[in-house]
A and B are shown apart, each in its own frame.
Chain A
Amino acid sequence: MSVRITLATAGRVLRQLRRDHRTLALVLFVPTLLMTLFRYVFDGQEATFDRVGPPMVGIFPFVTMFLVTSIAMLRERTTGTLERLMSMPLAKLDLLLGYGLAFAAVAVVQASLTAAVAFGLLGLDAAGPVWLVVVLAVANAVLGMALGLFLSAFAQTEFQAVQFMPAFVLPQLLLAGLLVPTEQMARVLELISYALPMTYAYDALARAATDVLDARLAFDAAVIAGFIVVALVLGASTLRRRTA
């Protein structure tokens, strides 16, 4: 792999995103708008907003980057640019890390903006450090990117890729413990939730927000890192130099 090619790829991905003003605006401002919506849905229930709000700051980037990456990668496959790249002196890791860097940079802006509005204007309160919520948000963005990249190999059209959102992301949100604590769910679902990355992402965010900076938080972070590595390896295996 090469730093030059990785950085060139990250720059190229960001440039493409910058050209698409509408997507960029949606990526940056939809989380803020949804957060505002949350604030007034839970009007007069500040405790609930304070419980649900901080994890949402960290979960939006996961959803966004999952979608954006799966579509971007699908386009690389269908327009032949992936085949061109694979016939060039570019390591698969250059491509994966290039995408990762680009979307992590976008996630920093997205999560900072959401956090600034939520904590600054909407009166969201967190006992724990806000910066840690933002760091976890960026980690989630990279996780979303890696999973999106892997799953995009199983979509032939953009219609299919978009449907992966409700198919793979929504169940994780439902099972993560955000709506109901995992131990109160049906036993089977509780067990399934332990196999899903979002469960650890939510737990880490909830702990960070309530200032429970314990070993369990470190464990959650390690599990998220593990999922990122596994998803990247699986993603790399879907980038084929030779195709039928």
Chain B
Amino acid sequence: MMNYGPSVRIRDLRVRRGGRLVLPGVSLDIRPGVVTGLLGPSGSGKTTLIRSIVGVQIVESGEVTVLGKLAGSPELRHVVGYVTQAPSVYGDLTVRENLRYFARILDASTDRVEEALRVVSLSERADQIVGTLSGGERSRVSLATALLGEPQLLVLDEPTVGLDPVLRRDLWNTFHELAAAGTTLLVSSHVMDEAERCDDLVLVREGRIVATGSPDELRHQTHADDLEDAFLALAEAS
């Protein structure tokens, strides 16, 4: 699936959830092979946007294409990795049993399981029942499952919440290694200090895209010293 255009292309996306118009008409392009940060406060529509890209969200209108195919196409299920905000793994299985099951679905080797465990620093906890892990560890199991296949697009909804700073830095390094190897990453966060680690930023507020660009571009554009101030300036201007 070679593709030289944007990895994700969204045009006039409108999504209603629970009667509320969460996304009133979003258009966005996401560049391939970089880490794009989706930033915005809680309730701004980040998760809905992510769900639309992964193709699990019922949308009202608009078009979302991923790697040249309509979002949710069966061909994309092999090449799009998705990690939900709440860890979606089996609490009554061990870490390794969870990963082995998802690996069988993706037809990934057991080597990939061990590799994914290593990336999220859970090799030593591999035989522990997931239900007995801490919240942060459980999120890492969930993240590891998304690394099993060889996804061309990896969509991560707040993957680093509650993680230890060292592990958080390591994971961000992993994200950049994956991007360098050609994977497109979309990572949502509501923490501004993570924005600095992204190649591209998409700032969302109340279902609208307030700004896009690299951290440097956004700082330059707003004459702000840090991204927090830049976001404030952009939010107030919109």
Residues of chain A touching chain B, judged by Cβ–Cβ distance below 8 Å, are 4-5, 8-9, 11-12, 15-16, 19-20, 79-81, 83-90, 241-244
> Interface size of B by Cβ–Cβ distance < 8 Å?
31
Known contacts A4-B104, A80-B86, A88-B77, A241 near B55 by CB under 8 Å? yes
Decide if B97 touches A12 in the complex (CB within 8 Å).
Answer: yes
Point out the residue from B18, B82, B97, B104 that lies within 8 Å of A15, measured CB to CB: B97
Decide if B93 touches A242 in the complex (CB within 8 Å).
Answer: no
Decide if B82 touches A243 in the complex (CB within 8 Å).
Answer: no
Decide if B102 touches A87 in the complex (CB within 8 Å).
Answer: no
Q: Is B78 an interface residue (CB 8 A)?
A: yes
Q: Is B128 an interface residue (CB 8 A)?
A: no
Q: Is B223 an interface residue (CB 8 A)?
A: no
Decide if B72 touches A15 in the complex (CB within 8 Å).
Answer: no
Enumerate chain B residues within 8 angstroms of A87, measured Cβ to Cβ: 54-56, 77, 80, 82
Q: Is B17 an interface residue (CB 8 A)?
A: yes
A15–B100 Cα gap in the complex (Å)?
12
Decide if A83 touches B88 in the complex (CB within 8 Å).
Answer: yes
Q: Is B196 an interface residue (CB 8 A)?
A: no
- In the complex, the chain A residue whose C-beta lies closest to that of B148 is A88
Q: Write 12 A-B pairs (CB below 8 A) sorted by A numbering.
A: A4-B104, A8-B105, A12-B97, A19-B92, A83-B84, A83-B88, A84-B88, A88-B102, A89-B78, A89-B105, A90-B77, A242-B72
Decide if A88 touches B90 in the complex (CB within 8 Å).
Answer: no
Known: A16-B92, A19-B92, A84-B84. 18 other contacts (CB 8 A): A5-B104, A8-B101, A8-B104, A12-B97, A12-B101, A19-B93, A19-B129, A79-B88, A79-B91, A80-B88, A81-B90, A88-B77, A88-B105, A90-B105, A242-B57, A242-B58, A244-B17, A244-B18
